């Protein structure tokens, strides 16, 4: 028996014969895996989620192909999916806990930074308020020095918020004396221009009714004159036509009354009494009966 066993072990074992149908199925599975990996763009290092989806679909194809082991493979797949889902849930929980741990670890440092920032901001606000009060006093002095004495009471000044920048200036220029002086000069120049415009370009509201009445009267006058102008043009055209007709009629009357031009009489021949008349002899020229 041992010798027989030794002899049998010396023979080579033949590989299993795979049917052609199974070979095609395996080739299709391999092509499907390669094509899906190329579509998704996965690499060997990951992502693991994409590989998991691809091979889960392949496993489902195998379950549908192998009918004899379908129940066993389905149970294995369900257990595997449950295990993977538990791993995912654990990863999500660990990620959330890691984030909370970081937040809790940073809270003392963040609180310290916030307190320090609050102190810096309070000092900045106090410094800004002091500078604003100083600048406002300076501006008031400049206005008092440059403004002529007014008969009417000046309008109440608006309250100035030191935490905001001046209109037309940014925060940096709001604390620059040169920029403030230039801005003040620009505002005064603009105020003078507006006063001149009020006197030249604008009219008080009380005069609007008078101006509207004058405008209405001028429009009516224009319409009346346009109507009269049209009538006068029509009358001039009609007069010109009548004048032309009268001139033509006068020309015809002159032509009709002018007598026709007569021809000049022929020159008379001188008669010589010593000669006989033409067609008569000399004797008959003196006979009245022959002449008649």
Rounded to whole angstroms, how far apart are CA atoms 183 and 167? 10
* Cis preceding-peptide flag for 30 (omega within 30 of 0): no
Report how many domains make up the chain.
2
193 located within any domain: yes
User: What pLDDT does 273 receive?
Assistant: 58
Rounded to whole angstroms, how far apart are CA atoms 35 and 29? 10
The answer on 197 and 178 residing in a single domain is yes
Tens of pLDDT, residues 35-94: 888 887 766 655 567 777 888 888 888 888 887 888 888 888 888 888 888 888 888 888
Rounded to whole angstroms, how far apart are CA atoms 276 and 119? 167
Q: Are 6 and 32 in contact (CB under 8 A)?
A: no
143 located within any domain: no
Residue 178: C-alpha distances to residues 63, 87, 160, 172 (Å): 85, 68, 20, 12
* H-run or E-run covering 215: helix 208-257
91 located within any domain: no
Q: Are 206 and 214 in contact (CB under 8 A)?
A: no
* H-run or E-run covering 210: helix 208-257
215 located within any domain: yes
19 located within any domain: no
Rounded to whole angstroms, how far apart are CA atoms 4 and 10? 10
Tens of pLDDT, residues 255-268: 877 766 555 555 55
* Structural domain containing residue 185: 172-202
Higher pLDDT, 257 or 28: 28
């Amino acid at each position: 028996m041992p010798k027989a066993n030794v002899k049998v072990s010396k023979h080579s074992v033949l590989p299993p014969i795979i049917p052609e149908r199974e070979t095609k199925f395996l080739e299709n599975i391999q092509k499907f895996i390669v094509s899906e990996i190329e579509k998704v763009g996965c690499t060997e290092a990951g992502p693991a989620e994409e590989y998991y989806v691809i091979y889960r679909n392949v496993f489902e194809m195998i379950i549908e192909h192998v009918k004899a082991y379908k129940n066993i493979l389905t149970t294995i797949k369900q257990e595997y999916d449950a295990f993977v889902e538990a791993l995912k849930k654990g990863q999500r929980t660990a990620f959330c806990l890691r984030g909370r741990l970081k937040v809790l670890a940073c809270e003392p440092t963040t609180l310290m930074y916030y307190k320090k920032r609050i102190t810096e901001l309070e000092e900045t606000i106090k410094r800004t308020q002091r500078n604003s009060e100083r600048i406002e006093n300076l501006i008031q002095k400049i206005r008092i020095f440059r403004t002529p004495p007014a008969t009417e009471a000046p309008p109440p000044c608006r309250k100035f918020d030191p935490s905001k920048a001046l209109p037309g200036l940014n925060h940096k220029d709001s604390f620059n004396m040169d920029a403030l002086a230039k801005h003040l000069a620009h505002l005064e120049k603009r105020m003078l221009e507006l006063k001149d415009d009020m006197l030249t370009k604008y009219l008080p509201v009380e005069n609007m009714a008078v101006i509207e009445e004058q405008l209405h009267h001028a429009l009516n006058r224009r319409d009346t004159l346009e109507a009269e102008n049209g009538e006068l043009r029509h009358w001039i055209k009609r007069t010109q036509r009548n004048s032309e007709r009268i001139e033509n009629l006068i020309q015809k009357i002159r032509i009709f009354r002018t007598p026709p031009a007569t021809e000049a009489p022929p020159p008379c021949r001188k008669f010589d009494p010593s000669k006989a008349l033409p067609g008569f002899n000399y004797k008959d020229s003196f006979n009245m009966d022959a002449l008649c």
